[in-house]
């Protein structure tokens, strides 16, 4: 699948994959009062009753107040949602949350004020909801171009179940610092990484041994999904990272100094604190730095 570059590209994806999208979505009437979305009382506090937008056309990237009446409390909950498709059957929307979650599919809305939201917000690409038109109460605003592009690129990958699978290797020295490789495409320091394969442990061991020119064995730690921007490909992707670790207590002379070369690549030893103070590394790779920090 070619990366989504425009709204027209996204509409073509919707047209070709509507059945698949519906299989990944949930019906608004099935959402209970106990649902995590309904429990976000912050939205009840900021909702303003105003002129109701007449039903009609809905554009991709619009943010709307949607309504959920509950007989058990004799009241209606209003929650913001983002329009991602206006099909003849229902309006497909994406849940907007006011609570940051560890869920990798909870994606920050960078320009939330521009979108008309009153709180810092996240959109859940894993919570696509089919809304009857009567639930669409009034328009709040529009996503910025950069937020819209991000969601239009991530939603197809989620719907397709597509992962870009890589293995990260956290190599430490006796001082507890991590081996970093300067990536010319990303223009920042990165942990050594290799494409994951079916025989992944052997692949990682062989690859890291060749790179370090040392006989070492890695230890599997864990795996995690990350939705992030690929600087090299200039597109948002869903990654599945497997994390391995290698400890080198006796570092050879060719891997010492402020910087050195391995396999023709500039390398250095960096502490997590040093990486967290590196503006470029944090801007492009903060999720991976946090991942290694918490798991190794």
Please state which CATH class domain 7-159 belongs to: mainly beta
Please state, in angstroms and rounded to a whole number, the distance separating the CA atoms of residues 3 and 10: 9
Closest to 213 (Cα-Cα) out of 244, 177, 254: 254
Comparing 45 with 235, which gets the higher pLDDT? Answer: 235
Share of residues in the chain with pLDDT > 70 (%): 96
Query: Can you give the pLDDT at residue 46?
Result: 85
- Interval 219-243 mean pLDDT: 95
166-196: pLDDT as tens digits: 999 999 999 999 999 999 999 999 999 999 9
81-112: pLDDT as tens digits: 999 997 767 899 999 999 888 899 999 999 99
Minimum mean pLDDT range among 108-112, 159-163, 243-247, 284-288:
159-163
Over the range 25-54, which residues count as b (16 or more CB within 10 Å of their CB) and which as e?
A: beebeebeeebebbebeebeeebeeeeeee
Query: Can you give the pLDDT at residue 50?
Result: 57
Closest to 140 (Cα-Cα) out of 57, 76, 50, 69: 50
Does the structure show a pLDDT above 90 at 237?
Answer: yes
| In contact, 65 and 47? CB cutoff 8 Å | yes
- Tell me the whole-structure pTM to 2 decimals: 0.89
The single residue listed with the structure tokens 């599997």 is 220
User: Per-domain residue ranges for the chain?
Assistant: 7-159, 164-295
Pairing of strands 106-108, 75-86: unpaired
Query: Can you give the pLDDT at residue 55?
Result: 60
Query: Can you give the pLDDT at residue 64?
Result: 95
pLDDT band of residue 3 (cuts 50, 70, 90) is confident
Please state, in angstroms and rounded to a whole number, the distance separating the CA atoms of residues 154 and 162: 10
Those residues whose C-beta lies under 8 Å from the C-beta of residue 198, and which sit 6 or more positions away, are: none
Query: Can you give the pLDDT at residue 53?
Result: 62
Fold that domain 164-295 belongs to in CATH? Nucleoside Triphosphate Pyrophosphohydrolase (3.90.79)
Closest to 291 (Cα-Cα) out of 200, 190, 158: 190
| In contact, 209 and 215? CB cutoff 8 Å | yes
Please state, in angstroms and rounded to a whole number, the distance separating the CA atoms of residues 229 and 108: 12
Task: Count CB neighbours of 218 within 10 A.
Answer: 21
Query: Can you give the pLDDT at residue 56?
Result: 64
- Measured CA distances, 130 to 21, 25, 56, 114, 202 (Å): 10, 7, 16, 25, 45
Query: Can you give the pLDDT at residue 1?
Result: 66
The single residue listed with the structure tokens 């944090």 is 282
39-96: pLDDT as tens digits: 999 998 888 665 556 566 899 999 999 999 998 888 899 999 999 997 767 899 999 9
Number of H helices, E strands in the chain: 6, 15
Phi and psi of 39, rounded to 5°? -85, -5
**What's the sign of the alpha-carbon dihedral 291, 281, 192, 238?**
positive
Task: Count CB neighbours of 20 within 10 A.
Answer: 14
């Amino acid at each position: 699948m070619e990366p989504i570059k425009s709204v027209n590209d996204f509409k073509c994806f919707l047209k070709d994959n509507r059945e698949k999208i519906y299989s990944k979505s949930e019906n608004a009437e099935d959402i209970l009062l106990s649902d995590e979305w309904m429990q976000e009382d912050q939205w009840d506090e900021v909702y303003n009753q105003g002129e109701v937008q007449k039903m009609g056309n809905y554009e991709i990237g619009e943010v709307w107040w949607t309504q959920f009446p509950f007989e058990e409390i004799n009241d209606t909950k209003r929650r913001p949602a983002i329009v991602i498709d206006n099909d003849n059957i229902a309006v497909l929307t994406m849940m907007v949350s006011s609570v940051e979650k560890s869920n990798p599919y909870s994606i920050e809305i960078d320009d939330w004020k521009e979108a008309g939201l009153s709180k810092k917000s996240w959109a859940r690409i894993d919570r696509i909801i089919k809304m009857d038109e009567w639930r669409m109460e009034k328009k709040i605003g529009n996503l910025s171009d950069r937020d819209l592009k991000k969601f239009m690129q991530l939603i197809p990958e989620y719907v397709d179940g597509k992962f870009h699978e890589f293995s990260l290797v956290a190599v430490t020295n006796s001082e507890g610092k991590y081996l970093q490789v300067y990536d010319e495409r990303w223009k920042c320091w990165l942990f050594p990484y290799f494409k994951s394969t079916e025989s992944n442990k052997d692949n990682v061991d062989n690859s890291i041994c060749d790179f370090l020119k040392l006989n070492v064995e890695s230890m599997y730690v864990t795996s995690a999904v990350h939705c992030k921007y690929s600087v090299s490909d200039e597109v948002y992707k869903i990654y599945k990272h497997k994390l391995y670790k290698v400890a080198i207590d006796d570092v050879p002379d060719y891997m010492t100094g402020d910087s050195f070369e391995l396999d023709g690549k500039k390398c250095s030893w960096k502490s997590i604190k040093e990486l967290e103070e590196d503006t470029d590394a944090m801007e492009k790779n903060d999720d991976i730095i946090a991942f290694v920090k918490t798991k190794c």
